[in-house]
Chains A and B, each alone.
Chain A
Amino acid sequence: MDNATIEKIIKEIEHYEPKEKVEHTGRVVSVGDGVVAIDGLSMAVMSEIVEFEETTGKSLKDAMDTEGSLYGLLLNLEEDGVRAAILGDTARVSEGMTVKSTGRILSVPSGEELLGRVVNALGEQIDGKGPFKKTTMMPVERQASGVIERKSVSVPLATGIKAIDSMIPIGRGQRELIIGDRATGKTTVAIDTIINQRYEPEESRPICIYVAIGQKESKTARIVQQLKDAGAFGYTIIVDAPASAPAALQFLAPYSGVAIGEYFMDKGRDVLIVYDDLSKQAVAYRELSLLLRRPPGREAYPGDIFYLHSRLLERAACLSDAKGGGSITALPIIETQDGDVSAYIPTNVISITDGQIFLDASLFNKGVRPAIDVGLSVSRVGSAAQTKAMKSVAGTLKLELAQFRELEAFMQFAQDLDKATADRIESGRRMVEILKQKNGSPIPVERQVAVLYAAIQKLFGGVSIERVREAESKLLDFLDAKYPQVLDDIKEIGALSDELKKTLGKAFDSFKSAHKELFN
Chain B
Amino acid sequence: MEQAYAMALWKVIENGKEPKTAVAALRSALKERGRAALLPRIGRAFERFAAREHTKNVLKISLSNMNDSRAHKEAVSALSKLNVSGTDIEVRSDDLLIGGWRVEGKGYLLDASFKKHLLSIYNRTTQS
Residues of A within 8 A of B (CB): 5, 8-9, 12-13, 16, 18, 20-27, 29, 39-42, 53, 55, 57-60, 63-64, 98, 100, 131
Assembled-state Cα–Cα distance A468/B119 (Å): 70
Tell me if B115 is interfacial: C-beta within 8 Å of chain A.
Answer: yes
Q: Is the CB of A26 within 8 A of B107?
A: yes
Q: Is the CB of A41 within 8 A of B107?
A: yes
Residues of B within 8 A of A (CB): 52, 55-56, 78, 81-82, 96, 98, 104, 107-112, 115-122, 124-125, 127-128
Assembled-state Cα–Cα distance A107/B81 (Å): 30
Q: Is the CB of A98 within 8 A of B112?
A: no
Q: When A60-B119, A63-B119 are in contact, do A24 and B96 touch as well, CB less than 8 Å?
A: no
Q: Is the CB of A25 within 8 A of B82?
A: no
Assembled-state Cα–Cα distance A53/B115 (Å): 13
Which chain A positions have C-beta within 8 A of B115?
A: 55, 60, 63
Q: What does DSSP make chain B's interface, helix, strand, loop or mixed?
A: helix
Q: Is the CB of A98 within 8 A of B109?
A: yes
Which chain A positions have C-beta within 8 A of B107?
A: 24-26, 40-42
The listed residue (A18, A29, A59) touching B117 by CB distance below 8 A is: A18
List 5 A–B pairs whose Cβ atoms lie within 8 Å, in order of A's numbering.
A18-B112, A24-B109, A25-B108, A41-B107, A53-B109
The listed residue (B56, B109, B119, B125) touching A23 by CB distance below 8 A is: B109
Q: Is the CB of A20 within 8 A of B96?
A: no
Nearest Cβ distance between residue A83 and chain B, in whole angstroms? Answer: 16
Chain B, residue nearest A26 (CB) = B107
Chain B, residue nearest A66 (CB) = B119
Which chain B positions have C-beta within 8 A of A29?
A: 52
Q: Is the CB of A16 within 8 A of B110?
A: no
Assembled-state Cα–Cα distance A425/B117 (Å): 80
Q: Is the CB of A9 within 8 A of B108?
A: no
Which chain A positions have C-beta within 8 A of B96?
A: 57-60
Chain B, residue nearest A10 (CB) = B125
Q: What does DSSP make chain A's interface, helix, strand, loop or mixed?
A: mixed
The listed residue (A24, A60, A63) touching B108 by CB distance below 8 A is: A24
Q: Is the CB of A13 within 8 A of B108?
A: no
Assembled-state Cα–Cα distance A13/B125 (Å): 10
Assembled-state Cα–Cα distance A25/B105 (Å): 8
Which chain A positions have C-beta within 8 A of B110?
A: 20-23
Tally A-B pairs: CB < 8 A.
65
Assembled-state Cα–Cα distance A57/B127 (Å): 23
Assembled-state Cα–Cα distance A241/B98 (Å): 40
Assembled-state Cα–Cα distance A338/B109 (Å): 55
Given A20-B111, A24-B108, 20 other A-B residues pairs in contact with their CB atoms under 8 A: A5-B125, A8-B128, A18-B117, A20-B112, A21-B110, A22-B109, A22-B110, A23-B110, A24-B109, A25-B108, A25-B109, A40-B107, A55-B115, A55-B119, A60-B115, A60-B118, A60-B119, A63-B115, A64-B122, A100-B109
Which chain B positions have C-beta within 8 A of A58?
A: 96
Which chain A positions have C-beta within 8 A of B81?
A: 22
* Residue from B81, B98, B112, B125 with most neighbouring chain A CB atoms (10 Å): B125
The listed residue (B52, B118, B119, B128) touching A39 by CB distance below 8 A is: B52
Chain A, residue nearest B82 (CB) = A22
Q: Is the CB of B109 within 8 A of A12?
A: no
Q: Is the CB of A16 within 8 A of B119?
A: no
Chain A, residue nearest B112 (CB) = A20
Assembled-state Cα–Cα distance A261/B124 (Å): 29
Q: Is the CB of B104 within 8 A of A25?
A: yes
Which chain B positions have C-beta within 8 A of A98?
A: 104, 109
* Residue from B96, B98, B107, B120 with most neighbouring chain A CB atoms (10 Å): B107
Q: Is the CB of A12 within 8 A of B125?
A: yes
Q: Is the CB of B109 within 8 A of A64?
A: no
Nearest Cβ distance between residue B111 and chain A, in whole angstroms? Answer: 7
Nearest Cβ distance between residue B18 and chain A, in whole angstroms? Answer: 26
Assembled-state Cα–Cα distance A98/B111 (Å): 13
Which chain A positions have C-beta within 8 A of B82?
A: 22
Nearest Cβ distance between residue B113 and chain A, in whole angstroms? Answer: 10
Assembled-state Cα–Cα distance A23/B124 (Å): 20
Chain A, residue nearest B105 (CB) = A25
Chain A, residue nearest B120 (CB) = A16
The listed residue (B52, B111, B125) touching A8 by CB distance below 8 A is: B125
Which chain A positions have C-beta within 8 A of B120?
A: 16
Q: Is the CB of A16 within 8 A of B108?
A: no
Which chain A positions have C-beta within 8 A of B55?
A: 27
Which chain B positions have C-beta within 8 A of A22?
A: 81-82, 108-110
Chain A, residue nearest B116 (CB) = A55
Assembled-state Cα–Cα distance A131/B107 (Å): 34
Which chain B positions have C-beta within 8 A of A60?
A: 96, 98, 115, 118-119
4 cross-chain pairs, A with B, having the tightest CB-CB distances, nearest first? A23-B109, A25-B109, A40-B107, A20-B112
Assembled-state Cα–Cα distance A59/B118 (Å): 12
Chain A, residue nearest B48 (CB) = A29
Assembled-state Cα–Cα distance A131/B128 (Å): 9
Which chain A positions have C-beta within 8 A of B112?
A: 18, 20
